[in-house]
Amino acid sequence: MRFARLNRDYLPAIGLGVTQIMGYGTLMYAYAVLLPEMAKDLGLTLSEVFGILSLGLFFGGLASPIAGKLVDRCGGRWVMTLGSIVASLALMAMSQIEARFGLFVMILLAEGAGMFVLYNVAFASVARLDLRVLPQRSISVITLFGGVASTIFWPLTLGLFNRFGWETTWVILGFSALLICTPIHFFVLRGPERAANGPKPDNAPDWPELTGRLRKQAMLWMVISFIFSGYLMGAVMTLWVTNAQDLGHTAVMAAVAGALIGPFKTVGRFFEMLVSRNMYPLVTYALSLGLMFSGFIALLTFGFTFSGLLVAAALYGMGDGIKTIARGTLPLALFGEKGYGARLGWISFVQMGINASAPFVFAWLTQAFGGWWSFAVMALCLCFAIATYTLIPDPRNYKDVPA
């Protein structure tokens, strides 16, 4: 009986994992395939359509704190259900775009609604549920699924476009998201919720929360470290092939190596699940930074060879996959469950507001100095992330220190 109850307690995380594949696949990765084709038909340049996407992502950052507060106040069931409906309708409406303004409005609507259904809200929603599975473990399960979104949706979107064109592809993607995500959000997030200030589950680790001055100090350095470690993510996604070609590889070789990043995100997350039962999230975050930095060291040192490029992609992918988990579990461990959704929302707002500029900055570096130097500055960002990580107070060292 207890085993059956435990299995049921994993259903919310599994269900949200499936919706994260759909969410990131349709609201993030599909743009890389469809926006360049839309630009041709709408008479826009690549810089114009991706500039509009950057504005959409920034608008999504503005909506993120609102989504987090709603989850804290109302729970995640209706927030994610209604968010998936609006996001799906916005994606289907993308098929009707005829000019720049229409694209701007629909991308803003889709990305704003996306902040009500993607990782941060999923993490906060599952943390609210009264489950025997700890929130940290549920977050790991959710991200385990999400890691394959790019692996599935880049070739799937390209295949749909080649068969039907971008208008019909948006309808198919939006309708699929509506059909799959809406009922999952409605049904798996049912059930009793725990009060944020209530007693912890019996199997919860005895991790103290920071208070007073240390709490503010931890928030500052954690957010700065998240910004530096996340700043290069968009640049890697958009410039990996271009920079790798500048190292002497063909476009095919660069794309094959880049395709490893997505699956190795899942490998990293699976590894984290195996070892994370007693691992403190500060250690998890350190592991992610170490793997990402090792990937860039391999890239800068041996990236001129194909084997070096493959190793670099695998190490970076594993580290980036684990970092997504730490992004959800570290604020929970340092500051507790009270206000968790809003806290994730504000962190996302700051990150997305700054990180939206990354593709443009690194594209300029690549154009001005070459791919190796662009990768080198990405590695430098990780150095700053590691340096600021070391300044985050560990609550376990301050158990007996007054606030």
For 190-224, write each residue's pLDDT tens digit.
Answer: 877 776 555 555 555 667 787 888 889 999 999 99
Question: Quick one: tokens of 373?
Answer: 């130097």
201 located within any domain = no
Q: Among candidates 244, 261, 230, 242, which has minimal Cα distance to 358?
A: 230
Inter-residue contact 9 to 133 (CB < 8 Å): yes
Task: Indicate the residue among 153, 188, 223 that finishes a domain.
Answer: 188
Q: Give the H/E segment covering residue 162.
A: helix 149-164
Tell me, yes or no, whether 219 and 352 share the same domain.
Answer: yes
Whether residues 181 and 240 fall in one domain: no
Query: Nearest 5°: phi and psi at 193?
Result: -120, 150
Q: Which phi and psi angles does 118 have, rounded to 5°? A: -90, -170
How far is it, in rounded angstroms, from Cα 153 to Cα 173? Answer: 10
Q: How far is CA 282 from each of CA 214, 319, 344, rounded to the nearest angstrom? A: 15, 14, 16
Residue 191, helix vs strand vs coil: coil
Q: Is residue 206, in this structure, part of any structural domain at all?
A: no
Instruction: Note the pLDDT tens digit of each residue in 335-388.
Output: 888 888 888 888 888 888 788 777 777 878 888 888 899 999 999 999 999 999
The per-residue pLDDT for 36 is 81
Domain membership of residue 325 as a residue range: 212-396
Work out the average pLDDT over 148-158. 81
What is the average per-residue pLDDT within 61-79? 88
Residues 113 and 74 in one domain: yes
Q: Answer yes or no: pTM beyond 0.85.
A: no
Tell me the CATH number at 106.
Answer: 1.20.1250.20
Residue 206's pLDDT is what?
Answer: 64
Residue 50 in any domain: the answer is yes
Query: Using one digit for the tens of pLDDT, what is the confidence trace for 373-396?
Result: 999 999 999 999 999 999 999 887
